[in-house]
Structure 1
Amino acid sequence: MEHRPNYRNFIISELERRQKKNPAYSLRAFARDLGIPCSRLSEIINRKMGLSQARAANLAEKLSLSPTEKEYFLDLALSEHARSPVVKEMATNRIKARESITTQMGEDEFSIVSDWYHLAIIEYFQLPSSVHTIEAVAKHFGLKTDEVEKAIERLEKVQMLLKKEDRWEIPSENRAATFRSDYKAVHNFYDQLASKGRNKVGAAGKHQWDLSASFIPIKKENSKKMLEKIRQFRRELLAEASSDADRDTIYCLTLQFFNLTELEANSLSELAENSLPQLEKNT
């Protein structure tokens, strides 16, 4: 497999993954499951045929890629096959921007941070009532079994999950991650959570969700004190929730605190560093 970015690697990797589970799984069966002729799939893999934007998007969906991987897959295809020079250049620039991030973080870590369900899966396995099967996790979060299986593989690869007999365990209770405010990974992560939150608003039962916004007049130099109070509140809430022996589900808490009246580059960079809450555990 090539080391340079190439969308065909996603296709080949998925075929190898399925063949590992079922040695009798053939290229013809793979093409059938992807909904394309076997001859065309072979031509795509062997560089004899490219992918249009529509076909690339459809194929990314059939491969059960994560949201981040889908974006990357589509950009890789567009950078090679887009008819418009402008579209091709934009896709190439996005790939370069991603590579600058993954060089620092590692591709698996980038994916874990960007897609919300990786962190949710970690928390699920810490519930006393959790069932340690792919199917149970998929049902709990409304995910596809393929999505869960791949997510767990990534988490195991970066040692954020360890398989012991018939259970998954979390190796460290004190992992935290902080990233610069210009990391696309962070933006993707919170965009996904915002979308999940919007879909929950109006759910039956007031205890299921809470949405509020407050506009606070403050002295600018006190902003750091307020940020620390917010973080302290989060830590205390996490500690209280983790001590409940009967916990049986996962909720999401997102907090925002930002200056509405000015966006100075230095202060924004300093204040917008986000410690992802699901990666921060209190012992």
Structure 2
Amino acid sequence: MAETVGQFLKVKFAELRAENPQISLRSFAAMVGISAGRMNELVHDKRALSDFYAEKIVKALKLNLQEKRKLYSLISTKARKVNSIRVLADNEGLHVRCWENLAILNIMRTDDFEPDMNWIAKRLGISLSRVQECFKILQDHDLVKISEDGGMERTSSRVVAKTTGATSHHERRKLEKSMEAMETIAPPFRNHSSVTVATTPEKIKEANEKIKEFRRKLAEFLEDGPKKEVYSLTINLFPLTEIRTTDSESTNE
């Protein structure tokens, strides 16, 4: 029974080589979706296993339940603290939640990600200077780390930022990107649809909670399996009629 991450990976690597003697550690790393250097560190127990890398290994190697439990038990306590859900403070969210920053954090999770700013700029269709500016922001908020050899790593498995009045301009920019996609992306690769209903404002609070739950479940569905592109899901619920307030509501205000 493997007692370290390196031992676990060496066993899985040996199983793959038994089926295909030509497989190398580099191709093993490519199969998992991480750099050869990072795989070498994990195999030789020179780097602690994080949730981020464990997730990639589980999905790429299609581990069974027993193997999953074993691998997850090897995630270091320190790594768990680093790779937990990061909830941004209001002032942090104001600087981080622009679409470019969020896209960079997620493109780092794609299967063919290359830790190269020129590659990122090309994939996102933005300038190299903008990518560099975004990485400066993400590093300042301790959301990414860049090693001396150029490796890039997220420090949190999930980033949550509250939407406030101060961040509304970032939401507008996302809507602008949505409008661009409507004109440039073929329908099979996007979805722009809406429904108009008659309801009462008293149901909106509960509707917002249902939207949050829907977003969470859809995100889990989309992120399960291969990751080739980065998508943005934008849902808008707003009144088409002018909101009327009762006399009591006006008085309370």
**Class of the TM-score when normalised by the shorter of the 2 chains:** 0.5 to 0.7
Structure-2 separation of matches of 1:152 and 1:172: 15
1:90-146 CA-to-partner distances (Å, cap 9, x unmatched) read xxxxxxxxxxxxx9615xx53322x32011000001112111100110000111111
AA aligned opposite 1:193: K
- 1:118 aligns to what? 101
**Equivalent in the alignment of 2:235:** 255
Give the SS at the match of 1:162: strand
Match of 2:115 among 132, 135, 141: 132
In structure 1, the gaps of 5 or more residues are 1-102, 266-283
The reply to whether residue 203 of structure 1 matches residue 187 of structure 2 is no
**Matched residues in 1 for 2:168 and 2:244: separation?**
19
> 1:203: Cα distance to partner?
3.0
Select the residue among 227, 233, 239 that pairs with 2:220: 239
How far, CA to CA, are the matches of 2:244 and 2:145 in structure 1?
Answer: 43
Instruction: Normalising by structure 1, report the TM-score.
Output: 0.50
Identify the residue that residue 50 of structure 2 maps to in structure 1.
Answer: none
Residues 241 and 220 (structure 1), Cα distance of their counterparts in 2 relative to 1, 3 Å cut: same
> CA 1:200/1:174 → structure 2, altered by over 3 Å: closer, same or farther?
closer
Which letter maps to 2:135? I
Q: Secondary structure at the match of 2:171?
A: helix
Q: Which amino acid aligns with 1:170?
A: R
- Over the residues paired in the alignment, what is the CA RMSD in angstroms? 2.3
Match of 1:21 in 2: none
Which position in structure 2 is the counterpart of 1:67? none
Q: Which residue does 1:170 correspond to in 2?
A: 154
In 2, Cα distance between equivalents of 1:187 and 1:219: 25
- Deviations 1:134-165 (CA, angstroms, capped at 9, x unpaired): 01100001111111111111101110111244
Shift, 1:263, TM fit: 4.2
Residue in 2 that maps onto 1:58 = none
**Which residue type is aligned with residue 91 of structure 2?**
M
Q: Percent identity?
A: 19
Task: Choose which of 187, 191, 197 in structure 1 pairs with 2:168.
Answer: 187
Is this contact kept in 2: 1:203–1:209, CA < 8 A? no
Q: 1:263 to 1:171 in 2, by over 3 A?
A: farther
Q: Choose 233-242 or 213-222, whichever is displaced more.
A: 213-222
Worse-superposed segment, 157-166 or 230-239: 157-166
Corresponding letter in the other structure for 2:168 = H
Compared CA separation, residues 230 and 104, structure 1 to 2 (3 A)? closer
DSSP-derived class of the 1:201 partner: helix
Q: 1:229 aligns with which of 187, 194, 210?
A: 210
Deviation at 1:194? 1.5
How far apart are the structure 1 equivalents of 2:90 and 2:160? 16
Q: Which residues in structure 2 correspond to 1:1-283 (within 5 Å)?
A: 105=91, 109-113=93-97, 115-164=98-147, 165-180=149-164, 182-183=165-166, 186-203=167-184, 205-244=186-225, 246-263=226-243
Q: 1:189 to 1:241 in 2, by over 3 A?
A: same
So what's the TM-score if we normalise by structure 2? 0.56
Q: CA deviation at 1:236?
A: 0.6
Which structure 2 residue ranges, 5 or more long, are not aligned? 1-88, 246-253
Q: 1:129 to 1:223 in 2, by over 3 A?
A: same
Q: Distance in 2 between matches of 1:112 and 1:137?
A: 17
Alpha-carbon distance between aligned partners in 2 of 1:128 and 1:247, rounded to the nearest angstrom? 5
CA–CA distance in structure 1, aligned partners of residues 105 and 197 of structure 2: 35
C-alpha contact (below 8 Å) 1:112/1:154 kept by paired residues: yes
Per-residue deviation, 1:224 = 2.1
